[in-house]
Amino acid sequence: MQDLIHKASILHEALPYIRRFHGRTFVIKYGGHAMTEPSLRDSFARDVTLMKLVGLQPIVVHGGGPQIDEMLGSLGVVSERIDGLRVTDERTMDVVEMVLGGRVNQEIVTLINNHGGRAVGLSGKDDAFLRGERVTEMRTKSGKVVDPGRVGRIVEVKTRILEHLVAGGFIPVVAPVAVDAEGRSLNVNADTVAGAIAAATKAEKLVLMTDIAGVKDESGNVASSMSADHVRSLIDTGVISGGMIPKVQCALDAIAVGVKKCHVIDGRMQHAALLELFTDRGIGTEITAG
């Protein structure tokens, strides 16, 4: 009986958050171990379905780095990364588009649908809703300037297709492939795409699922809350570096244009998104404007 009472108290704790966020858009970047470990994949699909059924409007943007690495390895292709971004030649772009827009996207859609959700998969090429431009150069740690190939940045998000899907009761699942002015594919960091979509849709929150507990401060401790200015100072001093830079930068960009809060959470924990959004304590780091 005490166990049942405890479960009821958890629902009571979630109630004010469900009421506050009813009808609001949440953009969730899904990646890391949460995409590869079966129990975490199942947990995520259930969580997103629950969000939709209680009145939230989730939009999922997924990564797929390990799956791309696996496919490239089987083809004997070596792929280099600079600050968390994959250098993408034409051959690599074909693999990226095949893995992200095909296999990975449809696996996520199927999993959500199997748990009672109504997920629809798409990439930025659908209705050309993610417009991008090519990044012409990047600098390695040694200072060498290189051409990253088909790596892109987002210049415009056309939200109509997302709005129609959300209004129709669907959960959009977005592969981070954009299209340039000539209709060519661009490989864009999934965190960056999630931030751009959050900004364009005026999302209530941007949630970044990672393989770390949160954002660490100068002392090496995970901060439960951090201002945008504090995050910028950590980047400037090198405390935040490497693959974390695109994650926190997309959070900063989203906050700058009106997204209220961004959350960096540990996707290795079951029900991570629900624990962060629907409990008083939360589990990760929230980044705020002030």
Query: Where exactly are the structural domains of the chain?
Result: 2-288
Written as six digits, the tokens of 231 are 């995050």
Query: Is 64 assigned a ligand-binding role in the annotation?
Result: yes
Say yes or no to pLDDT of 266 above 70.
yes
HSE (CB half, 13 Å, CA atoms) of 187?
27
Q: How far apart are CA 94 and CA 72, in angstroms?
A: 10
The CATH T-level fold of domain 2-288 is Carbamate kinase (3.40.1160)
Mean pLDDT of the chain: 88
Of 75-79, 220-224, 272-276, minimum mean pLDDT range: 75-79
Say yes or no to pLDDT of 104 above 70.
yes
Answer whether 20's CB lies under 8 Å from 285's CB.
no
Q: How far apart are CA 149 and CA 11, in angstroms?
A: 49
Written as six digits, the tokens of 262 are 């961004």
The structure's pTM equals 0.90
Nearest alpha-carbon partner for 198 in 119, 120, 254: 254
Query: Is 86 assigned a ligand-binding role in the annotation?
Result: yes
Of 6-20, 52-66, 265-279, minimum mean pLDDT range: 6-20
Query: Is 187 assigned a ligand-binding role in the annotation?
Result: yes
- DSSP for the chain? -HHHHHHHHHHHHHHHHHHHHTT-EEEEEE-GGGGTSHHHHHHHHHHHHHHHHTT-EEEEEE--HHHHHHHHHHTT----EETTEE-B-HHHHHHHHHIIIIIIHHHHHHHHHHTT--EEEEETTGGG-EEEEE---EE-TTS-EE--BSBEEEEEE--HHHHHHHHTT-EEEEESEEE-TTS-EEE--HHHHHHHHHHHTT-SEEEEEESSSS-B-TTSPBPSEEEHHHHHHHHHTTSS-TTHHHHHHHHHHHHHTT--EEEEEETTSTTHHHHHHHSSS-SSEEEE--
At 188-216, the pLDDT tens digits run 999 899 999 999 999 999 999 988 888 88
At 125-167, the pLDDT tens digits run 999 999 999 987 777 665 667 777 888 999 999 999 999 999 9
